[in-house]
Structure 1
Amino acid sequence: MSQTERPPYPPILVILVSAVLTGMGQVMNGQASRGLMMAFTALSLAWVSYNLTTPDHSFVGRYAGGFMIHAIAFMDAVRIAKFRRHEWETRSR
């Protein structure tokens, strides 16, 4: 390991950012294209589910597709952040 290599972000920080912004957890984990894909997919599915529902549905129901992808992106970012942190700590010993 080189001395200039920056440690990965702490998983708790990735959790907090990823909970608020879809795809940013992936960006923090060094997977920018994956984060962009998650954000675009969430927006696309939110638009589709909004257009397939009626005003009688709840807010969450109208944007269910986007919330589903947001949850998947969140779990993915947390898993990768924990893995990267564990790998970095193991290498630095």
Structure 2
Amino acid sequence: MTSSNTHPAPVSPYLVLGASIVLPASGHVILGVPVRGLQFLFFMVILAWVTAKIAPPDASFIGRHAGGFLIYALSILDAYKLARIRHARWAHNAAQGGDNSHGGSTPHT
């Protein structure tokens, strides 16, 4: 018995996490929101450039580009959070048999 409401399992959150760590914005691309990943990349480059211009000359590489690393860390967390939410929604719907018995549709992010 198959239902038209069943959806395939979403991408593993751990795969998205690993991809995001290895290559910035790749987790967002895997999730199907490449524009969001591109926005993170844009601000990563801009803030890295700004902090490189205002950092003291004796600062380390990380210190000179701290703004970019901050956005990089936030993009990893964002991609992982989106993947976890999608996986939790899928697991919840699968546990309830995939039917939409409450009468409404679930909002999508």
Alignment equivalent of 2:60, drawn from 37, 52, 58: 58
Report how many aligned residue pairs link the two structures. 93
Gaps of 5+ in 2: 96-109
What's the offset of the Cα at 1:35?
A: 0.5
Gaps of 5+ in 1: none
For the pair shown, the structure with the greater C-alpha radius of gyration is 2
| Equivalences for residues 13-92 of structure 1 within 5 A | 13-92=15-94
Identity of aligned residues (%): 40
TM-score (norm 2): 0.75
User: Higher helix fraction: Structure 1 or Structure 2?
Assistant: 1
- In the aligned structure 1, how far is the partner of 2:8 from the partner of 2:30? 12
- Counterpart residue identity of residue 62, structure 1: R
Detail structure 1 runs of 4+ shifted over 2 Å in the superposition: 1-7, 89-93
Cα RMSD of the aligned pairs, angstroms, is 1.9
In structure 2, relative to structure 1, the CA distance for the partners of 1:50 and 1:2 (3 Å cut) is: farther
TM-score (norm 1): 0.86
